[in-house]
């Protein structure tokens, strides 16, 4: 857990050694090319399960987006994020949670466990109500929202969960400001996005020019989009300066967290960012945040 690039760099030697050790363990698990099944314990299912990944035998496998649990279908990044969220936020079943997605297996999992959760997509999409979730709960939970201009009142949620959405938002600073605004004092955000751990600075891959036209500074990279086959353009590969942007939005206790566990099905070098809206106005002032309601 690090709150700055300097702290991370100071530990760099031991981090690199740990990476090497873990790579060897991962290589041993893969065995030969093909569909690989690995027994372990799924935090989201609360029981032993099997994680699966397809390996071509040559390139490094995508541990982050694959290695799905055979029971809940959630990949490494989402299972790890759920565990971090529950450990940090200690939520109750009625806790108010805002997730920046709903057309995903993750949101179905969330709504089954937290009936007061709200999810949003940028464009509305009609989906069949998942089995076991009451129609009314599903209809109430799913919203169409622009994360740079949320329609929720201020201090509405105990937690904000945003997984691999921020890199698709050209004005991501505005989105961080909105996440801050809708959180209750003391509320936490758990966020994942492409993060280059060796980079102090964010890489800008694309931007919007004055005429509203997308300008590609690097070859366009599209990520899977649950509501569109075209995929979603990635504007940023974030670096450590993203932590400063959280602080500028008013957050405190901004931490970059890395985790790895073969038993829990978290191979690769997994990463997430956590931060908290200060509990009191005095603390908000100290951290430089602006209070907006």
CB of 84 to Zn ion, least distance (A): 16
Q: Which of 18, 19, 22, 71 binds Zn ion (CB under 5 A)?
A: 71
Q: Based on CB atoms, which residue is closest to Zn ion, 69 or 147?
A: 69
Residue 45 or residue 283: which is nearer to Zn ion going by CB? 45
CB of 31 to Zn ion, least distance (A): 22
According to the 3-state scheme, what is the secondary structure of the chain?
CECCHHHHHHCHHHHHHHHHHHHHHHHHHHCCCEEEEEEEEECCCCEEEEEEEEECCCCCCCCCCCCEECCCCCCHHHHHHHHHHHHHHCCCCCCCEEECCCCCHHHHHHHHHCCCCEEEECCCCCCCCCCCCCHHHHHHHEEECCCCCCCCCCCCEEEEEEECCHHHCCCHHHHHHHHHHHEEEEEEEEEECCECCCCCCCEECEEECCCCCEEECCCCCEEEECCEEEEEECCEEECCHHHHHHHHCCCEEEEEEEEEECCCCEEEEEEEEEEECCCCHHHHHHCCCCCCC
Q: Which is nearer to Zn ion, 263 or 281 (CB)?
A: 263
Q: How far is the CB of 67 from Zn ion (least distance, A)?
A: 11
Q: Considering only 66-74, 135-143, 183-191, 232-240, which stretch makes contact with Zn ion by CB under 5 A? A: 66-74
Which residue in 2, 5, 44, 284 binds Zn ion (CB under 5 A)? 44
Binder of Zn ion out of 8, 38, 53, 72 (CB under 5 A): 72
Q: How far is the CB of 230 from Zn ion (least distance, A)?
A: 30
Stretch that binds Zn ion, among 39-47, 132-140, 177-185, 222-230 (CB under 5 A): 39-47
Binding window for Zn ion (CB under 5 A); candidates: 19-27, 43-51, 182-190, 282-290:
43-51
* Nearer to Zn ion (CB atom), residue 4 or residue 52: 52
Q: How far apart, in whole angstroms, are the C-alpha atoms of residue 112 and residue 137?
A: 10
CB of 72: closest distance to Zn ion in angstroms? Answer: 3
Q: Which stretch binds Zn ion (CB under 5 A): 12-20, 63-71, 163-171, 182-190?
A: 63-71
Q: Interface with Zn ion includes 50 (CB under 5 A)? A: no
Interacting span for Zn ion (CB under 5 A) from 8-16, 35-43, 222-230, 282-290: 35-43
Q: From the CB of residue 121, how many other CB atoms can be counted at a distance below 10 Å?
A: 22
Q: Which of 69, 110, 159, 165 binds Zn ion (CB under 5 A)?
A: 69
| 8/15 Cα distance (integer angstroms) | 9
Distance of CA 137 to the CA centre of its chain: 24
Q: Which residue from 5, 8, 38, 42 is in contact with Zn ion, where contact means CB under 5 A?
A: 42
Our CB check for Zn ion shows the closer of 187 and 268 to be: 268
Residues with Cβ within 8 Å of 128's Cβ and at least 6 positions away in sequence, in order, are none
Tell me how many residues contact Zn ion (CB under 5 A).
6
Measured between alpha carbons, how far is 12 from 20 in angstroms, rounded to an integer? 12
Interface positions with Zn ion (CB under 5 A): 42, 44-45, 69, 71-72
């Amino acid at each position: 857990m690090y709150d700055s690039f300097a702290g991370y760099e100071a530990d760099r030697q031991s981090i690199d050694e740990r990476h090497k050790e873990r790579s060897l363990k991962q290589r041993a698990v893969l065995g030969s090319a093909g569909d690989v099944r690995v027994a372990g314990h799924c935090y989201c299912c609360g029981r032993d399960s099997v994680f699966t990944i397809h390996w071509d035998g040559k390139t490094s496998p995508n541990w982050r987006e694959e290695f799905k649990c055979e029971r809940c279908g959630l990949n490494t990044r989402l299972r790890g994020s759920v565990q971090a969220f529950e450990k940090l936020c200690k939520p109750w079943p009625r806790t108010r949670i805002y997730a920046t997605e709903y057309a995903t297996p993750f949101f179905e999992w969330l709504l089954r466990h937290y009936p007061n959760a709200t999810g949003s997509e940028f464009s509305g999409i009609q989906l069949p109500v998942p089995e076991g979730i009451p129609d009314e709960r599903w209809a109430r939970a799913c919203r169409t929202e622009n994360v740079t201009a949320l329609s929720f009142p201020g201090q509405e949620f105990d937690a904000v969960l945003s997984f691999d959405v921020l890199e698709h938002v050209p004005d991501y600073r505005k989105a961080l400001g909105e996440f801050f605004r809708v959180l209750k004092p003391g509320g936490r955000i758990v966020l994942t996005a492409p993060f280059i751990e060796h980079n102090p600075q964010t890489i800008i891959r694309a931007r919007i020019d004055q005429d509203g036209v997308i300008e590609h500074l690097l070859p366009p990279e599209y990520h899977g989009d649950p509501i569109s086959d075209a995929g979603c353009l990635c504007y940023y590969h974030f670096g450590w300066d993203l932590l400063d942007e959280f602080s500028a939005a008013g957050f405190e206790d901004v931490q970059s967290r890395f985790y790895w566990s073969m038993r829990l099905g978290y191979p690769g070098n997994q990463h997430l960012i956590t931060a908290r809206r200060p509990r009191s106005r005095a603390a908000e002032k100290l951290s430089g945040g602006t209070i907006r309601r």
